[in-house]
Structure formats: C-alpha cells, structure tokens
Structure 1
C-alpha cells in the first residue's frame, strides 16, 4: 500500500468517525434521523462491493459480509458493518451521552431500568461523586 493510500484511508476514517459522533449527538439531543450517516454508510458498502452471505456453523445460520473490492479501506468497511448492526438493533434507543460535561463519550445503557448516567463509574462517575463530596465537606467546614 502506498503512502498516498495510507493517508487517504486515514482521512476517510477520521471523517467517518466525526460523522458518526455528530450524528449520534444530534440523535440523542433531538431524536433526529441519521440520514447523512446512513447515506455515507451505504456508499461505503457500494464502493467496497459488500455483500451479505448466509453461512452455517454448527447447525446455526448467520450472515457474514463479504468485501469483493480488493482495493478498499477494509477497516472503514468493518466499522460501517458494525455501525449497521448497531443501528438495526434495539440497543440504538439506549445510546446516551456521558453526564460528565468534560467527557465526550457515548455509551449503551444496559442497566436494568436504563438510568445509567456515566460512561464509566470508575472514571467519570467517581470523579463527579468525589467532586460533590469535596464541595459538601468544604461547605460544612466553612
């Protein structure tokens, strides 16, 4: 692969990442449809000539996606396939943005009552709780 191809592939990945991120932020905020993201994803599939193929493994049937175009950004196509799987799943309705205003991560809320607020309790949730505790302690001491 040439340096020019590497640079192009990298730029495609960055642009697609930004489109995914912005589309999900808009979806979470306003429940907007992700038309641009769907269109871009479909174009990725067309350019890479991605076809579903029905397979059998240990008496179980499943789809596997085959990439027919040799000269394509296979990482980009793999991300597009996984995005498609997410968008068609019921999990899409549970995508949330972390409640920590300094964090830009999204997560799928798999909690029982879908009330999770942090991308990770160990990082963002703990920081927020520790900050609240410190504030209360300062108020009590003043």
Structure 2
C-alpha cells in the first residue's frame, strides 16, 4: 500500500509539482496540470467522504487590494479532534491573479468541488472544468501573480 502523505506536507508537495520555474513563466494550464498531479496524491485524513476535497473557483474579487480576476485552486482537508469529531478544515491554495480585463470580468464567478472517497471520478471532474467556455479564455494566460499558501478555516 502506498504511504499517504501528511497534511503538513501539502504546501511543499504542491510547490514541488509547480516545479523550479518561476511562477511568471507558467501559464494557467501549467498550474492546472500541476494542481491535478497534486490532487491525485492521497493524504492521511479522517475516513469521511468530505475529508479531502479539491476546489476550482474563479471570479473578480478585491480580497486584499484592487479588484482582480482570480482563479483559486484549493485542496481542503478535514481535521478531527482527539475524539474523532470534526474540529476544523485546512485549505491549501494555489491562487492565480490576472488583473482586471473586461473579457475576464464577463466570465462572472464559478466554483466546483470534488471530494475523494465520495464516489466521484477526479478525471471526469477535471475534464468537465476544462470543457467550460471560461477555460478557453484563461488556459493560455500568464497570471500576473501566483501564490501558494495554507490557512485554517
């Protein structure tokens, strides 16, 4: 049986999938493929269907500065307390920011979840996302900024 990684390793593993190239050298599709490789890796999490999820979301937001079109690729892990009950979630984000352009703003906002152990197929989920019209608009764009980080939610 393959060893499942610890949640504490997640940021480093995602950064490793992104590779040694500077983030400015990557186009959206490069980051997406790295995120999918990261998404295929299994982690040691509680045995519930929503304990390990992937999130693909985009929209125009002003979280910590001027409005910008953002694609956020996230992995969410459930953390249980010593009794095995839900305590909180940890999210590992790969956030791509593109600036503000009318064509991107016109895409609106969207999000889609995939959960390991919920009976869904990761490859089918990914294919459905890249079949969206928004993917055609962003897959070859170079983000103005890319950030990988972890937060407790």
TM-score, normalising length from structure 1?
Answer: 0.27
Instruction: Pick 1 or 2: higher relative contact order, CA cutoff 8 A, min separation 6.
Output: 2
**Higher-Rg member (1/2):** 1
| TM-score between both structures, scaled by the size of structure 2 | 0.26
Bigger strand share: 2
Higher helix share: 1
